[in-house]
């Protein structure tokens, strides 16, 4: 059995967590096994499911407090358990400890995997990323990214053009998102939303990257013209209370629904009419793939890579209010049944088999 140590899953639900669990659920566990490292005080977000699947979870709380201790502990884990492949999932190159430990431990395959295309962590961390990314090739020997754009943020042109660079798709269970009229009616009923209401949706963590302030500004303009409209916000995060205050300032409390963290995103997408993602940056947003698989009209910011465009109707707009406030014209009364066929290249069934073959190729 091929053993892969996955590093980078956190105790909060986000893109990396969803990416990893989608592959975890779809790999053939008789052929390949994923184990995980937890650097947090809390359990990993999917830890209970991972343990039921016989994955090992290594608790290393010293990552931030004592990086040298963390590095030594990770070296021991890799060597004692003979991990040939260590897959480091990263949002930036600010911290390279997992790559350094993997190199010292003698892991045969060390994968640096870029999941983002920019950062809003401040000036110092931006400088650290720019400096540290030049050292990645000293420790990693394979270079993954969720998109070409995310790869360019992490790696040099030489790496991008080499056979060591690989785009690993942010794949999903396509059939879970296939449009279902019955679910649409049921979810709208649960949310107390009539069929005639224009329902605009967004799924994302409440942080600077997702640009919720702009989203509320846009919805406020839409409300002035289209009173029978509502905005559905799915997610949690540090800026949630700020956004709730902004909603209150605009007197939109009855039109903006904060649903928190949900396990039924695929069903909520059936209820939506339009999906908005005005992010300041993204690697390749998994929710964008999900929304298109659900057949939604999607409006993304032009800061998001065009690689994500799967449907003809998907648009990329500059972050200017006068452009976005016109989106109410997109109220749909079209059939969405067959749209998810266009998204089949992100089908996790195929992608899980592809990554297994890739791991086998690298480990041979």
- pLDDT attached to residue 333: 52
pLDDT 10s digit of each residue in the chain, 364 long? 899 999 999 999 999 999 999 999 999 999 999 999 999 999 999 999 999 999 999 999 889 899 999 999 999 999 999 999 999 999 999 999 999 999 999 999 999 999 999 987 788 989 999 999 999 999 999 999 999 999 999 999 999 999 999 999 999 999 999 999 999 999 999 999 999 999 999 999 999 999 999 999 999 999 998 899 999 999 999 999 999 999 999 999 999 999 999 999 999 999 999 999 999 999 999 999 999 999 999 999 999 999 999 998 899 999 998 888 777 666 655 567 666 678 999 999 999 999 999 999 998 7
Same domain, 38 and 157: yes
Residue 172 phi/psi, 5° resolution? -135, 170
Cα 362 to Cα 142: distance, rounded to the nearest angstrom: 9
Same domain, 15 and 147: yes
- 3-class secondary structure, 130: helix
Regarding beta strands 229-234 and 274-277, do their DSSP bridges make them parallel or antiparallel, or are they unpaired? unpaired
Residue 230 belongs to domain with CATH number? 3.40.50.2000
- pLDDT attached to residue 337: 63
Same domain, 159 and 186: no
| Torsion angle in degrees (nearest 10) through CA of 114, 120, 122, 123 | 70
Any idea what DSSP says for residue 253?
Answer: T
Cα 291 to Cα 299: distance, rounded to the nearest angstrom: 10
Same domain, 229 and 303: yes
Cα 15 to Cα 62: distance, rounded to the nearest angstrom: 24
Same domain, 163 and 255: no
- 3-class secondary structure, 174: helix
Same domain, 23 and 160: yes
Regarding beta strands 32-38 and 57-59, do their DSSP bridges make them parallel or antiparallel, or are they unpaired? parallel
Query: The tokens of 141 are what?
Result: 């020997």
Same domain, 181 and 277: yes
Question: Are 89 and 125 within 8 A, CB to CB?
Answer: no
Same domain, 74 and 216: no
Beta strands per DSSP E along 57-216: 57-59, 85-90, 109-114, 142-145, 165-167, 198-203
17-29: b (≥16 Cβ within 10 Å) or e: bbbbbbbbebbee
Query: The tokens of 65 are what?
Result: 């407090």
Same domain, 235 and 162: no
Same domain, 139 and 189: no
Cα 115 to Cα 16: distance, rounded to the nearest angstrom: 7
Residue numbers of the domain that contains 236 = 174-345
Question: Are 327 and 339 within 8 A, CB to CB?
Answer: no
Question: Are 362 and 109 within 8 A, CB to CB?
Answer: yes
- 3-class secondary structure, 160: helix
Same domain, 73 and 138: yes
In sequence order, which residues have a C-beta less than 8 Å from that of residue 179 and are 6 or more positions away?
A: 270, 294, 295, 335, 336, 337, 339, 340
Sheet containing 198-203: give its strands across. Answer: 256-260, 229-234, 198-203, 274-277, 297-301, 315-317
Same domain, 16 and 119: yes
The number of distinct structural domains making up the chain is 2
């Amino acid at each position: 059995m091929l053993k892969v140590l996955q590093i980078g899953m956190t105790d909060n639900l986000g893109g990396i967590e969803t990416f990893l669990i989608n592959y975890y659920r779809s790999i053939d566990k008789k052929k390949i096994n994923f184990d995980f490292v937890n650097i947090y005080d809390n359990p990993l977000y999917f830890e209970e499911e991972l343990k039921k699947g016989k994955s090992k979870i290594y608790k290393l709380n010293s990552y931030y407090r004592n990086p040298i201790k963390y590095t030594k502990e990770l070296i021991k884990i890799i060597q004692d358990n003979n991990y040939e492949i260590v897959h480091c999932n990263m949002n930036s190159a600010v911290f390279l400890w997992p790559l350094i430990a993997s190199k010292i431990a003698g892991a045969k395959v060390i994968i640096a995997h870029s999941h983002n295309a920019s950062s809003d962590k401040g000036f110092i961390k931006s400088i650290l990323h720019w400096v540290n990314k030049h050292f990645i090739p000293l420790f990693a020997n394979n270079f993954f990214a969720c998109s070409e754009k995310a790869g360019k943020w992490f790696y040099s042109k030489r790496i991008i053009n080499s056979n060591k660079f690989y785009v690993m798709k942010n794949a999903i269970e396509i059939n879970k998102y296939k449009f279902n009229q019955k679910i649409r009616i049921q979810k709208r009923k649960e949310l107390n939303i009539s069929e005639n209401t224009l329902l605009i949706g967004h799924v994302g963590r409440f942080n600077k990257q997702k640009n919720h302030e702009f989203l509320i500004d846009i919805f406020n303009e839409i409300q002035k013209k289209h009173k029978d409209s509502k905005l559905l916000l799915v997610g949690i995060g540090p800026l949630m209370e700020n956004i709730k205050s902004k909603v209150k300032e605009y007197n939109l409390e009855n039109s903006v629904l904060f649903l928190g963290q949900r396990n039924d995103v695929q069903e909520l997408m059936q209820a939506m009419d339009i999906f908005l993602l005005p992010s300041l940056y993204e690697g390749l947003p998994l929710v964008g793939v999900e929304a298109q698989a659900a057949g939604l009209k999607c409006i993304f910011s032009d800061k998001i890579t065009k690689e994500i465009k799967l449907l003809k109707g998907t648009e990329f707009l500059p972050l200017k209010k006068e452009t976005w406030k016109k989106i109410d014209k997109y109220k749909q009364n079209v059939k969405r049944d067959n749209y998810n066929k266009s998204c089949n290249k992100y089908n996790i069934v195929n992608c899980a088999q592809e990554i297994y073959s890739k791991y086998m190729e690298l480990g041979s």
